[in-house]
């Protein structure tokens, strides 16, 4: 069974009236254009029914408001499904009570949080203390954390921002037990695993391949497997942005069966059961 470790799912209220949510700068940046797709539970279920993918991790959104994050999380809890594994939203704007907020998430039965992103604030200097607090409380509570990272070079697109890899590296070094997923091949930080000290620091880090067709050539699969190993890469489509057919043959054509089976299902199962 194929598991999509990176999809996005919104409450029905967002689908019905997205204009009411455009006061959130990150949501506006990504979804003000009506052509930008938002998916609801029925959409994702239909996608799973009609595709080779049997299960999916449904990621929340990086709302600035804790109230909207709570509503998004309540929607996930009220619509639990055997085939959809929800990940909770947490505020992207620094929030005084983030530790309590995340502990409540852990107590509610979520496997993790994310996809945390900073589309509007773009990793500004004042964010790093906040991110460190998030790392610490997720680590303490055994939660998986997805964090959105972009490639620092190449073409521009909505929401793209550069990541100070040095600051991120220091945080990871200080929270080595955190179950962290760096989305989009970690914006390229995966290539630094060729340095022995980085490989050691990143031994518990995983990466997903979401949006690969828009970002990297198919060679990235064999290259990253050679660098980090196939047990560290998760299959993710970024649905509804893309669907599985843009990935599956490419992955299988570039990797050995053991490696692509790890990526397409085994790794995510190991992650959520660890």
Q: Is the pLDDT of residue 4 over 90?
A: yes
Going 95 to 99 to 100 to 101, the CA torsion angle's sign is positive
Q: Is the pLDDT of residue 253 over 90?
A: yes
Using the 8-state DSSP alphabet, how is residue 88 labeled? Answer: B
Q: Is the pLDDT of residue 12 over 90?
A: yes
Nearest Cα to Cα of residue 144 among 85, 75, 66:
85
Least confident residue range of 104-113, 151-160, 238-247, 255-264:
151-160
Q: What is the pLDDT of residue 124?
A: 77
Is the N-terminal amide bond of 240 cis, ω within 30° of 0? Answer: yes
Give the H/E segment covering residue 84.
strand 84-86
CA separation for the pair 76, 255 (Å, rounded): 35
* Averaged pLDDT for residues 9-19: 96
Q: What is the pLDDT of residue 163?
A: 86
CA separation for the pair 166, 46 (Å, rounded): 41
Residue predicted with more confidence, 71 or 120: 71
CA separation for the pair 129, 135 (Å, rounded): 10
* Averaged pLDDT for residues 199-207: 96
Give the count of beta carbons closer than 10 Å to the beta carbon of residue 109. Answer: 11
pLDDT tens track for 37-67: 999 999 999 999 999 999 999 999 999 999 9
> 180 has which bridge partners?
145, 205
H helices of the chain, in order, are 12-16, 25-31, 41-50, 66-78, 98-107, 128-140, 165-174, 183-186, 196-201, 212-215, 219-228, 248-254, 257-261, 267-273
Would you report the helix, strand and coil content of the chain in percent, each value rounded to 5?
Answer: 50, 15, 35
Percentage of the chain beyond pLDDT 70 is: 100
- Residues with Cβ within 8 Å of 37's Cβ and at least 6 positions away in sequence, in order, are 240, 241
pTM value is 0.96
Please provide the DSSP assignment of 62-76 as one string: --S-HHHHHHHHHHH
Return the structure tokens found at 161: 């921002």
Q: What is the pLDDT of residue 160?
A: 80
Exposed / middle / buried, residue 14 (Cβ in 10 Å: 0-12, 13-18, 19+): buried
- The whole-chain average pLDDT of the chain stands at 95
Q: What is the pLDDT of residue 236?
A: 98
CA separation for the pair 242, 212 (Å, rounded): 10
* Averaged pLDDT for residues 247-269: 97
**pLDDT grade for 208, boundaries at 50, 70 and 90:** very high
pLDDT tens track for 150-182: 888 888 877 788 889 999 999 999 999 999 999
Using the 8-state DSSP alphabet, how is residue 81 labeled? Answer: B
Pairing of strands 112-116, 84-86: unpaired
Q: What is the pLDDT of residue 73?
A: 98
Angle of helix 66-78 relative to helix 98-107, nearest 10 degrees, comes to: 0
Q: What is the pLDDT of residue 122?
A: 73
pLDDT tens track for 77-130: 998 888 999 999 999 999 999 999 999 999 999 999 999 999 877 777 789 999
> 116 has which bridge partners?
147
> 234 has which bridge partners?
208
Is the N-terminal amide bond of 103 cis, ω within 30° of 0? Answer: no
């Amino acid at each position: 069974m194929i598991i999509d470790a990176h999809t996005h799912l919104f409450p029905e209220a967002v689908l019905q009236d997205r204009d009411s949510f455009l006061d959130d700068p990150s949501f506006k940046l990504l979804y003000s254009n009506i052509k930008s797709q938002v998916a609801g539970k029925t959409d994702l279920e239909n996608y799973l029914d009609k595709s080779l993918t049997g299960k999916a991790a449904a990621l929340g959104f990086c709302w600035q408001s804790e109230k909207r994050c709570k509503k998004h999380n309540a929607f996930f809890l009220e619509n639990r499904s055997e085939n959809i594994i929800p990940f909770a939203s947490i505020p992207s704007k620094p929030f005084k009570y983030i530790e309590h907020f995340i502990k409540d998430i852990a107590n509610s039965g979520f496997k993790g949080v994310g996809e945390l992103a900073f589309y509007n604030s773009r990793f500004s200097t004042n964010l790093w203390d906040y991110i460190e607090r998030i790392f610490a409380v997720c680590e303490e509570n055994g939660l998986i954390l997805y964090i959105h990272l972009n490639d620092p070079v190449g073409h521009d697109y909505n929401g793209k921002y550069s990541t100070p890899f040095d600051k991120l590296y220091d945080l990871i070094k200080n929270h080595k037990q955190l179950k962290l997923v760096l989305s989009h091949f970690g914006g390229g930080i995966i290539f630094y695993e060729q340095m022995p000290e980085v490989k050691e620091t990143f031994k518990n880090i995983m990466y997903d391949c979401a949006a690969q067709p828009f970002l990297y050539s198919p060679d990235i699969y064999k290259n990253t497997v050679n660098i980090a190993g196939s047990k560290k890469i998760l299959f993710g489509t970024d649905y509804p942005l893309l669907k599985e057919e843009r990935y599956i043959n490419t992955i299988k054509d570039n990797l050995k069966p053991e490696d692509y089976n790890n990526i397409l299902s085994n790794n995510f199962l190991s992650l959520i059961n660890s």
